[in-house]
Chains A and B, each alone.
Chain A
Amino acid sequence: MYKYDKYDQSIVDARVEEFREQTARRLAGALTDDQFKPLRLKNGLYLQLHAYMLRVAIPYGTLDSRQMRMLGHIARKYDRGYGHFTTRQNIQYNWIKLEEAPDILADLATVEMHAIQTSGESIRNISSDQYAGAAADEICDPRPWAELVRQATTFHPEFSYLPRKFKIALTAAEEDRAAIRLHDVGLKLVKNEAGELGFEVYVGGGMGRTPFVAPLIRPFLPADNLFSYLEAVLRVWNRWARRDNIHKQRIKILVHEIGQAEFTRQVEEEWQAILPNGSDVPRVEFDRIAAYFPEPPFATGLSDELDRSDPDFALWLDQNVAAHKRPGYAIVNISLKPTGGIPGDISADQIDLVADLAERHSFDELRATHAQNLVLPHVRKDALYGLWQTLRDAGLAEANLDLVTDIIACPGLDYCSLANARSIPVAQKIAARFADQGRQRELGELKIKISGCINACGHHHAGHIGILGVDRKGTENYQLLLGGSGAEDASLAKITGPGFDEDGIVDAVEKATAVYLRERVEGERFLDTYRRVGMDPFKEAIYG
């Protein structure tokens, strides 16, 4: 994985000291709250419901054991013993003291981490496929390209005061595990007929108040032109974005309002104009970055045979272990969705344990996923049983990946100052209702995503079943949505009808699953059945 050079380290260290000084000035009264707010947001520090909240960037979700242990150290020393993995492959801490925030950033900098551009009107953490570098279905490792974009956009002066936040996802596999079409820019590495590497470029997707699935604006962008083309996209947006209206500032609104064709025309025109400037990153620089992502020294001649005689282990194997590109290896998903738990939450002790396991079993690599789980990307199959036993003993072996209890949920009104309703208790009640392993498996792949407000941090628009919490005259109310997907078959979920209270929404979810079980034909997932039969049978069952 990428390692800071002296320039990277010096700018991150300088940023820490700058923020230390800004914080001191705030505490001394030299800066007002209004003056300080944009400064702390540029360093990922929010003021939430109960305390300050710090969001730490995990570039494209990749980290090593040293960094993971630092996340545990921060949870233990500065927070209340836990952290929360987010839907942007980041981690956030809920109980931060302002006076200690500079020390946290200094600690992070010692392991090449920071919280820069995890908030504010900036280019946020570049997200990617959590199986990058390990997936059997990828054409190459997308992370060097994600790192290139990260470096090129960090502190970029032209993109430091954008109209609004800007999110980029970059993948290289046929299966979309990063929801690229629900990003401001989605980039998919592909090869053309000549075998050359390039990108499919999707622009104008997103969730939030006004969701859109991003259209494809360029089916093949030569890989070496990635940055200049991104620059052209950002420039067109920067030129026309509705800075007068916060609800219309995102690029998706511009693409929608002027139309895909006109937007594309302007981007292409801008791109041709700036190409002679030579802003593309030279190939030698890309090669320098790519050299940090060598393939691990995989052993050869390993067997793919597994002893499945322990039924609980076999269950976990079938659900949480994915195919690796190398014989004898597997990708292990660690669910952070135990029944009764809080989606994405992990204790400091669990963080340390996962760090140890990554070091021992996965070439010191681990990943955070946008579904709020963790991944050990390169595990020898002959080590899986012992690994599973260790995870099980630590409460980290819930065998529910992509099942009905693997629920994405934002922090909601329990933590977030923007939320209108609580998300976590709804997730917990649904997980409890469907706790039976056999029932979960009978339902198969079923992605439930819950947001506590219209900002959609819980990705409810992309849920096979989505739930949106709203405030109805001071009372929590929950709308049910069906038919969304963040995968390669991206679609937006539709609202079924009037909302429910907390218990009512759990009942409604159960009724929707009953319709699926009744209507499905062989091989269909919940989403497939919904798409085939439409909304009516579900509405009838839920409201009838």
Chain B
Amino acid sequence: MKIVTGNDLKTGAVIWWAGDGWSIHVADAVDAGEHADALAQTEQAALRVNGAYVIDGEATPNGPRPAHIKERIRAIGPTVRPDLNLKPADPAAGSWVI
């Protein structure tokens, strides 16, 4: 699947294209398909996202999983500070990233 991601303009938070807007949760990401690049450009031009780009991902029973470890770390937070992560209480977060 093609996932569109970027950072929130004001806060810098990592965000994911969720079909009808942006979400901070990768679980909300949708497959933007062949329109992914155009979508990234349009959203960036409209100042709804900063530095938008397209990544590869995989649809899993637990939701979208970015293909590259860098994007998985972006999705959750630093692996060395689980207390700051989006899923701080999730014991599976580590294996999901690595």
Q: A33 to B41, alpha carbons, bound, how many Å?
A: 12
Q: Is the CB of B70 within 8 A of A49?
A: yes
What is the chain B residue whose CB lies nearest that of A341? B80
B-chain residues with CB within 8 Å of residue A419 when the two chains form the complex: 70
B residues apposed to A, CB below 8 Å:
7, 9-14, 44, 47, 50-51, 67-70, 73-74, 77-81, 84
B-chain residues with CB within 8 Å of residue A140 when the two chains form the complex: none
Q: Is the CB of B67 within 8 A of A413?
A: no
Q: A434 to B68, alpha carbons, bound, how many Å?
A: 31
What is the chain B residue whose CB lies nearest that of A46? B12
Q: A422 to B68, alpha carbons, bound, how many Å?
A: 13
B-chain residues with CB within 8 Å of residue A94 when the two chains form the complex: 78
In chain A, positions 486-503 with a C-beta closer than 8 Å to chain B are: none
In the A-B complex, the 7 residue pairs with the smallest Cβ-Cβ separation, listed nearest first, are A51-B12, A414-B78, A52-B12, A97-B11, A424-B80, A99-B10, A29-B47
Given contacts A80-B84, A414-B80, A425-B80, contact A47 B12 (CB under 8 A): yes
Q: Which of B12, B69, B78, B84: most chain A CB closer than 10 A?
A: B12
A427 to chain B, nearest CB (A): 9
Q: Is the CB of B67 within 8 A of A428?
A: no
B88 to chain A, nearest CB (A): 12
Given contacts A33-B50, A50-B74, contact A97 B69 (CB under 8 A): no
Q: A424 to B12, alpha carbons, bound, how many Å?
A: 23
Residue of B50, B68, B79 near A47 (CB, 8 A) is: B50
Does any Cβ of B come within 8 Å of A64's Cβ? Answer: no
Residue of B11, B77, B79, B81 near A422 (CB, 8 A) is: B79
In chain A, positions 232-248 with a C-beta closer than 8 Å to chain B are: none
Q: A27-B10, A49-B74, A51-B13 are in contact. List 16 more A-B contacts (CB 8 A).
A: A33-B44, A47-B7, A47-B12, A49-B14, A96-B12, A97-B12, A98-B12, A99-B11, A414-B78, A414-B80, A415-B78, A419-B70, A422-B73, A422-B80, A474-B68, A474-B69
Give the size range of A's interface with the partner.
Answer: 20 to 34
In chain A, positions 353-382 with a C-beta closer than 8 Å to chain B are: none
Does any Cβ of B come within 8 Å of A476's Cβ? Answer: yes
A residues apposed to B, CB below 8 Å:
26-27, 29, 33, 47, 49-52, 80, 94-99, 342, 413-415, 419, 422, 424-425, 428, 474-476
Between-chain CB contacts (< 8 Å), 7 pairs: A49-B14, A413-B69, A414-B81, A415-B78, A424-B80, A474-B67, A475-B69
Q: Is the CB of B77 within 8 A of A50?
A: yes
Question: How would you classify the secondary structure of chain A's contact residues: helix, strand, loop or mixed?
Answer: mixed
A30 to chain B, nearest CB (A): 10
B-chain residues with CB within 8 Å of residue A475 when the two chains form the complex: 69
Residue of B10, B78, B80 near A428 (CB, 8 A) is: B80
A-chain residues with CB within 8 Å of residue B70 when the two chains form the complex: 49, 413, 419
Q: Is the CB of A50 within 8 A of B69?
A: no
What is the chain A residue whose CB lies nearest that of B76? A50
Q: Is the CB of B12 within 8 A of A414?
A: no
B-chain residues with CB within 8 Å of residue A428 when the two chains form the complex: 80
What is the chain A residue whose CB lies nearest that of B85? A50
What is the chain A residue whose CB lies nearest that of B74? A49
Q: Is the CB of A414 within 8 A of B51?
A: no
What is the chain A residue whose CB lies nearest that of B70? A413
Q: Is the CB of A51 within 8 A of B69?
A: no
A-chain residues with CB within 8 Å of residue B67 when the two chains form the complex: 474
Q: A476 to B97, alpha carbons, bound, how many Å?
A: 12
Q: A419 to B70, alpha carbons, bound, how many Å?
A: 9
B-chain residues with CB within 8 Å of residue A99 when the two chains form the complex: 10-11
Q: Is the CB of B80 within 8 A of A98?
A: no
Q: Is the CB of B14 within 8 A of A50?
A: yes
Q: Is the CB of B14 within 8 A of A342?
A: no
Q: A98 to B11, alpha carbons, bound, how many Å?
A: 6
Q: Which of B50, B80, B81: most chain A CB closer than 10 A?
A: B80
A-chain residues with CB within 8 Å of residue B14 when the two chains form the complex: 49-51
B-chain residues with CB within 8 Å of residue A50 when the two chains form the complex: 12-14, 74, 77-78
Q: A178 to B27, alpha carbons, bound, how many Å?
A: 46
Q: Is the CB of B80 within 8 A of A342?
A: yes
Q: A50 to B77, alpha carbons, bound, how many Å?
A: 7
B-chain residues with CB within 8 Å of residue A342 when the two chains form the complex: 80-81
Q: Is the CB of A49 within 8 A of B73?
A: yes
Q: A50 to B6, alpha carbons, bound, how many Å?
A: 10
Q: A342 to B79, alpha carbons, bound, how many Å?
A: 11
Q: Which of B67, B78, B79, B81: most chain A CB closer than 10 A?
A: B78
B94 to chain A, nearest CB (A): 10
